[in-house]
Amino acid sequence: MLSPLAPHDDADGLLFDWDGTLVDSQSANYQAMAAALAPLGVTLEEPWFNTRTGLSSAEMIDLLIDEAGLDLPIPVSEIVARRDEHFLRQAHHIRTHPAVLEIVETYHGRLPMAVASGGSRAVISQTMRHLPYASRFAAVVTREDVERGKPAPDIFLLAAHRLGIAPDRCTVYEDSDEGIAAAQAAGMTVIDVRSHTGR
């Protein structure tokens, strides 16, 4: 039986967001960010975090600083590094989203695939070692590779370029409003996985 997440027949390549799409990392990401901010006297509200998961860690912190009028004593880059350290301590607990894993396994070797994430390359690569994804992707594009993160289309456009596929022949799997907007801005077909991942 064909999965409801199966790409259309005209797809020449598949692009996958990482957090919340390929992996069930929402809670771990929130806990890591909250732990990084707490020593600075900043309380991160989970509902606020959950509505901004398409942003990179740095972009999320910048937005929080702007919205709350914060004056933090250390650079954003240091907060992100602390967040990543907290996350990686629990990376071995991160699990796949089975419905999305099924798509990856079904189309591995049939269509070229890439990870296209606003996350950190180091965090993704280290987490991926614990999961059945390590040999499945021809490219991994992260926020470090582009000037603008989602909802700008840059991450998806670069991933398509690295696969050698025209953007309008790519299908994107996403779980955030920012990611969906980025895929649409790139002229790609996008599949919202949220109804299949429990979000």
Residues with catalytic function: 17
The answer to whether 172 touches 190, Cβ cutoff 8 Å, is: yes
The answer to whether 53 touches 26, Cβ cutoff 8 Å, is: yes
Distance CA 41, CA 43 (A): 7
Distance CA 43, CA 34 (A): 7
For residue 151, is the peptide bond before it cis, meaning its omega torsion is within 30 degrees of 0? yes
Contacts of 9 (CB under 8 A, 6+ apart): none
Paired residues of 173 in beta bridges: 16, 191
Phi, psi of 18 (to 5 degrees): -95, -75
* Type of residue found at 127: T
